[in-house]
Chains A and B, each alone.
Chain A
Amino acid sequence: MSAVPPPRERRHDVIVVGAGMAGSLIARHLGDQGWRVLVLEAGTDTLSTWEGHQEAVDTFHAALYKVPNAPYRPNAAAPSPGVADLEGLPTGGYRAHGYLLQRGPLPYSSDYLRANGGTGLHWMGLTPRMHPDDFAVRTTYGYGRDWPLGYDDLEPHYRAAEQQLGVAADAEEQREAVGLPFPEGYTYPMEAVPRSHLDHLLAGRLDGTALREEPGAPAVPLRVVTTPHARNSTPDPRYDDGHGYRPAGAVGPNAYGERCVGNASCVPICPAQAKYTPLKTQAVWGPHVTLVARAVVSRVLVTGDGRVTGVEYQRYEDPAGPVHTTHTAEADVVVLAAHAVENAKLLLHSRLAGSSDQVGRNLMDHPTLLTWALLDRPTGPFRGPGSTSGLEGFRTGPARSVRAPFRVEIANWGWAWPAGSPAGDVAELLGIPADTTAPRPGPLFGPALRQALTGRLERQFSLQFAVEQDAESRNRVTLDPRHRDRLGIPRPVLTYDLSDHVKRGLAAARNVSRELFRLLGAEDHTAYAPGPLAPGHFRFDGADLVFQGAGHGAGTHVMGDSPGTSVVDPWQRCWDHPNLYAVGCGSMPSVGTSNPSLTMAALTLRSCEQIHRDLMDLHRPVTLRPHPVDKAPAASRRPGGRP
């Protein structure tokens, strides 16, 4: 760090709103091309130093509830939704506390994180590509919305994203088992992350068999397939025509940021920094990128002709303090990269991009069904990354016309997500119910307790069925001026539900799980009922089901090929505003069954090319004129604020 005073320069080429994965990638690329980029981050910047990272690990260890946001300080000036904000009611239904206001029949059950690095600090780090079939679900299967792009358009950008995130995977296996096209000879930057012992056990019993999700349905061949990860494994020497790959960007001593060492805490924080986070991209930002944290963008500023001129933002020093100050910043291009819900909030509050009436609509997630069982032998639970393999056979095919498809993740952390293991098991065997007025059953102590615990925990495993949600205009983010955050910005109001197509997908997942457990000879312990920990409970076809959020918010500034029916064009540029981009999962017209971050990164890198072209076009008159343009007019448009 140098002692040079901050630049006095007020005008930037690009303002990026949000320093998460998309925003950090955009800033890197445009900065490398020489554009002056100002990144405004609503949250605090506490993890980009070694001390700050260590403190977050400690905060996670000391947290009573190990929820995804646990390591990151609560911030009243830029609040984040948390998974513990939702409470199921005893006879069904839910109540929402916290930042998001919820008015739908079912709750939007996902969190996100407003901090430098964004939700990419606590993501699991799984990076499967979308399937080629996923881009045309309306045309092919009759539900949801089509993309204005196809897999082939995105393919080179997938490779670029895999380079930026440092993906470990086996291209040959992905080609064969998932059906993904790759250029001849492509290798990922790193070799696949080793499969867990559980994966090996399941592969031994499932590979080569087949399963019917109901009698008469076609048989789906089963095969355990390694999942791509943005997690350091062994660099593949064949990568990049034999140049290989070297992970970079971790803070702290040299040994950090090397291969995954099996902390088994990818969510909520990887202590070894083996998992990609946007902070690693920030570590290689060039000198043209300026980050200002604790700067909450409240409005995008626009002129009468629809061009945006910059943003208004609120700065605070102390997240707990009551004081904030209002500033503006100007730029030629503004890029919103603040999360699907926050991008929609900003567009709605600024009354922008609304001609199609699609802003905030088409909110999607991957509603996730958890099932859990005991195998007949130790599974080695609570070790390694959260999931290292999955079953890919239910991701596409004619069944999609009838029910939503799903990807099956094999979960390595026992019943941690579905049943709160092992803490829940300890409390139960000790006779400590959650309700302090409930009678306390006789406890086990000593060797009996220890053996009972081992017996209960060592054979645990669970499956996570991430179901595709179709874009529906009724699922949406709106604002209610009566409900504002501490800075006076309206809070997002969510209206969310699942279509019957999704519910049929969840019900099919339950059937597939039963069959899988039968084939595995596993004891199925899955049970769904309303209750405080089941806000996602609903009944369908006479059966109880409970879904979870996957943290994959999408669709709220949907991309399309026509200004009348979509918010952004295929470059994620707002149809209504030629120099305003809204990037991220909010642009996705459908989400397939893939964890969406890699696709978001690919789309983002693709947009960088167009933003660069837009900026070149804007600056072209300068270079074409015989004499340089006087700088004075630009300098006279001084925004009031200090970034």
Chain B
Amino acid sequence: MTPRPTTPPAECAGFVAVSVHLTGFDEFTLRSTGMVRLYHDTTIEQVGRAAVGRFLGDLAAAGDDPGRITDPVSLDIARAITHLWYLGVWPRLARATHTALGRETANTAFVVSPQAWSEGLVWRALGGHAPGARPPGFGTWAAPPPAPHPRPAPSGARP
């Protein structure tokens, strides 16, 4: 008997789907960074499950277009998650957001891990690599840069 193929549930599927809308990178690219779980956990640690839940609701109500979110706290969370993906850095929130969330941690920016810096999407947007990580090889800087491929993100994924 052939065992019936099963699809294991993807890790943090909702968080990845939201991140696709925020970053403009597809699910495969986001998962290939290896940062999904860390960014998911960082976000929850920083703003709390309740605020993340409200943000998800606001994003759904905005038709999955984060730019149309009107609630300032949810919009700031969208900024922070995107910043995290692009630079590996959790940013400082607006002071009003920090207060509204009643956060007990200091409102400081930090690199979430050494790998997070190397995995910043901003370097991929340029077709390049983070300084000090994934060097492309001797003399590669003499060639024209690779053309960036702004592949539009698939829009089907739902959080």
The interface of chain A, by Cβ under 8 A from chain B, is 57-64, 66, 194-197, 200, 233, 259-265, 269, 271-272, 378-385, 388, 412-413, 422-423, 425-427, 430-432, 436-437, 440, 442-451, 453-454, 457-458
Contact = CB atoms under 8 A, between A and B. Distances in A.
A66 B153 contact: no
Interface string B119-139: 001110110111111011111
A383 B136 CA distance: 9
Given A61-B114, A262-B136, 5 more contacts: A57-B114, A379-B145, A432-B83, A436-B92, A443-B66
Contact of B141 (A262, A430, A431, A445): A262
A263 B135 contact: yes
Contacts of A442: 67
B131 A378 contact: no
A444 B123 CA distance: 18
A64 B87 CA distance: 10
A263 B145 contact: no
Contact of A443 (B79, B89, B128, B148): B79
9 contacts: A66-B131, A261-B136, A432-B83, A432-B91, A436-B94, A445-B23, A445-B65, A448-B24, A449-B82
Contact of B148 (A262, A426, A458): A458
B42 interface: no
Contact of B128 (A195, A383, A431): A383
A444 B24 CA distance: 10
Interface string B76-106: 1011001100110101111100100000000
B1 interface: no
A169 B17 CA distance: 50
Given A454-B126, A458-B126, A264 B131 contact: yes
The residue in A62, A265, A446 that gathers the most chain B C-beta atoms within 10 A of its C-beta is A446
Residue picked from B21, B111, B113, most chain A C-beta under 10 Å: B111
Nearest to A201: B144
B145 A378 contact: yes
B83 to A, nearest CB: 6
B60 interface: no
Contact of B150 (A261, A378, A425, A447): A447
Interface residues of B, number: 60
A636 B25 CA distance: 74
B113 A62 contact: yes
Contacts of B141: 194, 196-197, 262, 264, 380, 383-385, 388, 412
A445 B21 contact: yes
Contacts of B118: 61
A197 B143 CA distance: 6
A430 B107 CA distance: 18
A11 B116 CA distance: 50
8 closest A-B pairs by beta carbon, nearest first, are A384-B141, A265-B132, A61-B114, A380-B145, A450-B24, A261-B135, A265-B131, A447-B24
A61 B117 contact: yes
Nearest to B64: A446
B98 to A, nearest CB: 7
Nearest to A263: B135
Contact of B89 (A64, A380, A384): A64
B82 to A, nearest CB: 6
B152 interface: yes
B67 A445 contact: yes
Nearest to A422: B122
A309 to B, nearest CB: 45
Contacts of A265: 131-132
Contacts of B86: 426, 453
